[in-house]
Chains A and B, each alone.
Chain A
């Protein structure tokens, strides 16, 4: 049962990666990266690694804020 849940979450992660590569605005990519981090935290919880999930939850927030700080100094349009 847990294997099917893990497979479903992995398919969601693959879809999110495709949205990151083909996005037109950089703010889109950064916000979707925050959702990516949250989904990987759920995945680590289901697999039975709560230590790793705790660390990923905290580090994902800090990493996303690093990207948003940089985003204020560059132009956001990209093709």
Chain B
């Protein structure tokens, strides 16, 4: 009864002030306040100034690149805090449930002998990694970018842990070293900003990088370098969190 009263009071107090008065704009109006001031400039000048038809990438990595640098730093700090919180040595590793121990064969052969563990993983994982590289480098022309590519690399590591186990995964690192690897991402991002200051421009101004290529290519070069930093940051954080969680909870049913 008390739970129902709490839920109803919360619903009424959050919905009524916004709906009873006409404070929110009509959906789909091209003249509403968020659509008029600076977004028109971004839409019309994305191709000629940033050399990228994907306007979302042009906004987050070229016009608002300072924001994205701190978002990458926040990702790295989340991975670091997971390492710090779980830094104590646990008393014992939490074992597999009892119902699966009964099925175990005592002669040493694994219980699940499927084709997935030996053959299909070696075929599927390189395809996913190549797709991640494609998404990273085509982020300016079509949909994609650095965040999606980093998450795909993290998903490859997750697949490897689930199928093969913790004894021989692809990236065999303890959680402290993978947190250090995740820190290389924001470092590459900040370094690109300093390179453009060497050429005489402001921080993260891609027009004045001292690289001897054509004027239109400088933006593409800057965007690609920055997105590589974002990818390494996101992939490293996902690998760190997975390593930290599976050091205490056994996720593999055979090699226990």
A and B: interacting chains: yes
- Count A/B pairs, Cβ under 8 Å: 42
Chain A residues with CB below 8 A from B143, complex form: 50-51, 54
Residue contact B249 to A73, C-beta cutoff 8 Å: yes
Say yes or no: is B145 at the interface (Cβ < 8 Å to chain A). yes
Residue contact A58 to B94, C-beta cutoff 8 Å: no
Grouping DSSP codes into helix (H, G, I), strand (E, B) and loop, the A interface class, with mixed when no group exceeds half, is: helix
Which of the residues A58, A69, A70 comes within 8 Å of B148, measured between beta carbons?
A58
Number of interface residues of A (CB under 8 A): 15
Residue contact B144 to A69, C-beta cutoff 8 Å: no
Interface size range on B against A: 20 to 34
CA distance A54 to B147 in the complex (A): 10
Which of the residues B155, B241, B245 comes within 8 Å of A61, measured between beta carbons?
B155
Residue contact B158 to A62, C-beta cutoff 8 Å: yes
Residue contact A62 to B154, C-beta cutoff 8 Å: yes
Residue contact B155 to A3, C-beta cutoff 8 Å: no
Known contacts A51-B145, A55-B151; can you find 9 more A-B pairs with CB under 8 A?
A3-B27, A51-B144, A55-B147, A61-B155, A69-B246, A69-B249, A70-B245, A72-B250, A73-B248
Closest 7 pairs between A and B when the two form their complex, measured CB to CB? A58-B151, A73-B94, A73-B249, A51-B56, A69-B245, A51-B143, A50-B143
> Which residues of B are interface residues toward A (Cβ below 8 A)?
27, 54, 56, 94, 97, 143-145, 147-148, 151-152, 154-155, 158, 162, 238, 241, 245-246, 248-251
A-B contact pairs, 5 of them (CB 8 A): A3-B27, A51-B54, A62-B155, A72-B97, A72-B250
> Which residues of A are interface residues toward B (Cβ below 8 A)?
3, 50-51, 54-55, 58-59, 61-62, 65-66, 69-70, 72-73
